Structure formats: C-alpha cells, structure tokens
C-alpha cells in the first residue's frame, strides 16, 4: 500500500507543476495576457468598421477575386479528374505534353469561370457583398 500512495503523490506533484502552480508560471501567464491585451487594443485603434456599399473599384476587385477563386477551384477539380484517366503511351510521352495540357486546361477553366462556370463565383460574390458592411479598413 505504501508504494501506491507514493506513486499517487508523485503524480499529483507533477500535475501541479505542469498546471502552472508555481508563482513564476503565474507571473509569466499574467505578462503574456497583458501583452496580448495591449496588442488587441492597438489593433482596435488602427482599424474601423465601414458601413455602406462598396465603391465601383472595390466591387470590380471583389468580382474578379471571386471569378479567380472559381477558376482555381475548377482547375484543381479538372486536374484531379484527368488524373483518374489511364495514360496512353501509344505515341510516346514527354514533359512538354503535360505542360501544354496543363496550360490548356488552365485557360479553359479561366474561360469557364468568366462565362459563369458552375455558379460558385456568383454565390461567393453575393455573400461577400452582403458582408461588405463588416469589412475592416485601416484608419
């Protein structure tokens, strides 16, 4: 019984040290908390919340970013689908063919996204435009 009591006591003392039971650990945590609070207040002072609609330039940038995201998504999806098709080595195979195919696929997916794609860009644009009141801008 004495051995079990000694092991339990050792575990309890280790957990107290790990939990920051010492005064030095508590002071380090308090200093880190104060440093974080100061950084948070500084960030709040540098930023302000804007209300209202997006300017035409911002609206255009948002629309382009949404189309770019859809094009990137479609390109990744198309590349992964192409990887499932077995390769045919009847006419040979080299790196130039892969590069040309990749460039052609990227151009095709960019064109697809610009012409409406699967509607992902439109949904993103509409959602982000609704959230434009929550956009944070530097003072």
The three state secondary structure string of 48-92 is EECCCCCCHHHHHHHHHHHHHHHHHHHHHHHHHHHHCCCCCCCCC
Q: Is the pLDDT of residue 92 over 80?
A: no
Tell me which of 1 and 132 has the higher pLDDT.
132
Report the pLDDT averaged over residues 104-131.
89
- The pLDDT tens digits of the residues spanning 21-53 come to 567 778 888 888 888 888 878 777 665 545 557
User: What is the dihedral angle through the alpha carbons of 88, 90, 96, 98, rounded to the nearest 10 degrees?
Assistant: 0
Residue 103 is predicted with a pLDDT of 92
Predicted local confidence at residue 88, as pLDDT:
80
């Amino acid at each position: 019984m004495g051995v079990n009591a000694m092991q339990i006591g050792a575990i309890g003392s280790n957990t107290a040290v790990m939990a920051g039971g010492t005064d030095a650990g508590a002071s380090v945590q308090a200093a880190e908390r104060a440093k974080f609070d100061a950084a948070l207040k500084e960030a709040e002072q540098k930023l302000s919340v804007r209300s209202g609609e997006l300017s035409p330039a911002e609206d255009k940038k948002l629309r382009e970013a949404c189309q770019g995201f859809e094009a990137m998504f479609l390109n990744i999806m198309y590349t992964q689908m192409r990887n499932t098709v077995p390769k045919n080595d009847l006419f040979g195979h080299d790196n130039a063919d892969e590069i040309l195919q990749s460039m052609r696929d990227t151009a095709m997916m960019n064109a697809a996204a610009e012409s409406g794609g699967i509607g992902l860009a439109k949904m993103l644009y509409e959602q982000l435009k609704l959230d434009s009141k929550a956009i944070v801008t530097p003072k």
